[in-house]
Amino acid sequence: GAVVSQHPSRVICKSGTSVKIECRSLDFQATTMFWYRQFPKQSLMLMATSNEGSKATYEQGVEKDKFLINHASLTLSTLTVTSAHPEDSSFYICSARRGEPYEQYFGPGTRLTVT
């Protein structure tokens, strides 16, 4: 068990458009979901933490108006990159946590390219 899906796996969009990425926990209810970003050859960077039904908690330096997170249910969280720019091109990974022992299960990631 503990499978997390992410959709789409790859997306190419034009500068100024918005992109929505979905993260679903398929076989468990996730108390908390996380969104990460990873640039090539760099470590994971936590963007935000979201609990179902409440506002996401963003890490310092992450623009909440640019990266909109919605956690509508215990199995679904979405990240919308608004007015995307080329510098937003990155690998976006979500993870879900269901409780003790608090390990995070990762989705396969979404590679975003903004042209």
Partner 1 sequence: GQNIDQPTEMTATEGAIVQINCTYQTSGFNGLFWYQQHAGEAPTFLSYNVLDGLEEKGRFSSFLSRSKGYSYLLLKELQMKDSASYLCAALDSNYQLIWGAGTKLIIKP
Write out the residues near partner 1 by the rule CB under 8 A: 42-44, 46, 49, 91, 93, 101-109, 111
Quick one: 76 or 109, whose CB is closer to partner 1? Answer: 109
CB of 54 to partner 1, least distance (A): 15
Q: Give the DSSP H or E segment for 70.
A: strand 67-73
Shortest distance, position 30 Cβ to partner 1, whole Å: 14
* Closer of 65 and 100 to partner 1 (Cβ): 100
Using the minimum distance from each CB to partner 1, give the nearer residue, 70 or 109.
109
Interacting residues of 51 by C-beta distance below 8 A, sequence separation 6+: 31, 32, 33, 71
d(CA 92, CA 10): 10
Instruction: Show the tokens assigned to 98.
Output: 């269901």
Q: How far is the CB of 2 from partner 1 (least distance, A)?
A: 8
Instruction: Tell me the β-bridge partners of 25.
Output: 4
Q: Tell me how far, at minimum, the Cβ of 49 lies from partner 1, in Å.
A: 7
Is the CB of 14 or the CB of 41 nearer to partner 1? Answer: 41
Tokens of 115: 């042209």
Residue 83's identity, in one-letter code, is S
